[in-house]
Chains A and B, each alone.
Chain A
């Protein structure tokens, strides 16, 4: 989103390498069956969140200094709302599911 900052080849390549790593880790874990139980889910979730951040920073060029404040505001607002909506929905539906049994 920013017009001034240098979008150099190295930015994209760094992002690409990081993204490949963060994709490979969960795939390898699941494929190889290296971990068991809830630990796998935790690793998948953490890798996913990190990779989203990598994409935002290196591909969409979000940074706290040069990205316009209003764009950052709406990104943050969307993140909060997605958290409320998805978190709330899952909480409500899991709770109902539990009580239906």
Chain B
């Protein structure tokens, strides 16, 4: 009846495991009680969970990412604490628990922090940046969100029922095969990946179609804001690389569940194919995480330098180059597998080439700042911190791209330091910059800057303290993922790294305090114009938070930085001649239902509860069938209602709230003159 699920699966075997389970269950109960106490269940269900509004879906993605960031960071803290003390001793974590922690840390940070964070920001902003009322497939968007949430839920429930994978976030066989990992851990990992991977693929397709088909009149490809460009590129990367993850995860699942021999040690399996297929997905994935952050940095640096982005065209081409090249370097993740010199050399050279367009971008941002009137808003400070720190990571990356050097540093803490050096400044700082930059757009009031700056300093100091020692330790020969060690000269470095983790803890606390403080005094920090930073792109033309339809009348665009030009020319905040009816998608329960079914399906597969697998499968088909035959999924918002909302908004804006644009002159196509002079 319950497959291999028995009472033994509950975590009564160790205090640490029970602690983790208690926090998870306790957190769930606390949230449940809070919502009940606020009597918010109905609002939550009708306005949020069933919503197909891209802004709300985006906010839910970001909330999911922040919750999982805390979970993933607790893992990091536990690892740092273990290694700080485990010189010639067991530390406080047994090996099998330590292994689960580094596996879940990587899995969570990649799939359930970075992916939902960037998808959330994209959801909130991109349709507004291209002057659209919605994404191409609003319902599919809801399905994507709930598939991702289902994957996250599978990782969370593994803390309470059963165990998580011990095979690292990359899960290489044969260790992740059923012979060496017979438990449910690897299955949880696989089903979390497959479920969230389906969600990501759907959102990739959704945003390709949105950007290609839904741009407002006049917005040619070369007039799209940089963040939209990076989104288009990563959506293509998602659509074409996630199939590889689906294939490799599916094959390992078949190996484990039905006794296939794709990656087994004997019977004609080939475990090296796993590494090959995994990294065909894995390397583009790195750029999927980083490119949207590059887009955010581009927006932020132009806005807070009060200048047009330097070298827009070169940034576009650099992004496109990175996107294509990211499919040609995957072997550098396994140089040491023993390919011949020719193979390693070609992939090494390709890897070094990919550093070139990335360098182009750094110069473009620096030249944008050059002679600009820089304002040190938290998002700008994060951007500057990123540029300084990311370059160090880039340099160590080029070092690792040399196969002979890689043979020495492979699987050492040098590698760990390198990829954290790319992903913390390169991705996470970008998302935090985006959070500070676009928060008023999503919620209608600004975030506190004091706590924003504090969070930045804690994060950057914490980052350097935590990871610079790991570079040194890598040179001293320390392997990654060590539960304990015997070299006393390592310990001081590991203690410094642990102190760094405590600084990062302060950084996360600052963000929490920032959110709390800002919410407490939101009335005094309201964003009335919808344009708090004198922004340049179309998302600042809508109200904050935007009306459900974003734009009452679709804007027309003649140049990049469209909204900036509108403000200079006095065209912003002007009521249109007349309003029109607007078609809106209706909310639907099918998105969350499919997510719940995906979660149950994954759980049933993990525990071999076959009747539940069949039931979930059939119910999913029924849900899809109900949706497919529903020809009444939209409604019309009448023009009168649109006019009421818009008049109310415009009445609030007094000229004193607007930015003084006297110092600016329109540039490029909007000025009607060729590109001369400086701003």
Contact = CB atoms under 8 A, between A and B. Distances in A.
A91 B343 contact: yes
Nearest to B244: A85
B337 A96 contact: yes
Interface of A: 70, 77-78, 81, 84-85, 88-89, 91-93, 95-96, 98-100
Interface in B250-282: 270, 272-273, 276-277, 280
A85 B339 contact: no
A89 B280 CA distance: 9
26 contacts: A81-B240, A84-B327, A84-B328, A85-B244, A85-B280, A85-B327, A88-B280, A88-B328, A88-B330, A89-B273, A89-B280, A91-B343, A92-B276, A92-B331, A92-B339, A93-B270, A93-B273, A93-B276, A95-B339, A95-B340, A95-B342, A96-B272, A96-B338, A96-B339, A99-B339, A99-B340
Contacts of B482: none
A77 B236 contact: yes
Most buried by B among A91, A93, A96: A96
B212 interface: yes
A81 to B, nearest CB: 5
A78 B240 CA distance: 8
A93 B272 contact: yes
Contacts of A98: 340
Given A93-B273, A93-B276, A99 B331 contact: no
Given A88-B331, A89-B277, 9 more contacts: A77-B240, A85-B327, A89-B280, A91-B343, A93-B276, A95-B343, A96-B272, A96-B337, A96-B339
Contacts of B327: 81, 84-85
B339 A89 contact: no
Contacts of A70: 212
Contacts of A89: 273, 276-277, 280
Nearest to B280: A85
Contacts of A84: 327-328
A58 B415 CA distance: 51
Main secondary structure of the interface of A (DSSP, over half): helix
**In the A-B complex, the 6 residue pairs with the closest CB atoms:** A95-B343, A70-B212, A95-B340, A95-B339, A81-B240, A89-B276
Given A70-B212, A81-B327, A84-B327, A92 B343 contact: yes
Contacts of A95: 339-340, 342-343
A86 B330 CA distance: 13
A78 B327 CA distance: 12
B456 to A, nearest CB: 38
A95 B337 CA distance: 11
Interface string B239-253: 010001000000000
Nearest to A98: B340
A57 B375 CA distance: 56
A88 B350 CA distance: 13
Nearest to B270: A93
Interface string B375-390: 0000000000000000
Nearest to A89: B276
Contacts of B240: 77-78, 81
Interface string B329-364: 011000001111011000000000000000000000
A25 B328 CA distance: 35
A89 B279 CA distance: 11
A53 B448 CA distance: 59
A99 B337 CA distance: 11
Residue among B244, B270, B276, B328 having the largest count of chain A Cβ atoms under 10 Å: B276
Nearest to B240: A81
Nearest to B340: A95
A36 B292 CA distance: 53
A78 B340 CA distance: 28
A96 B277 CA distance: 15
Contacts of B328: 84, 88
A3 B330 CA distance: 40
A99 B342 CA distance: 13
Nearest to B239: A74
A23 B526 CA distance: 69
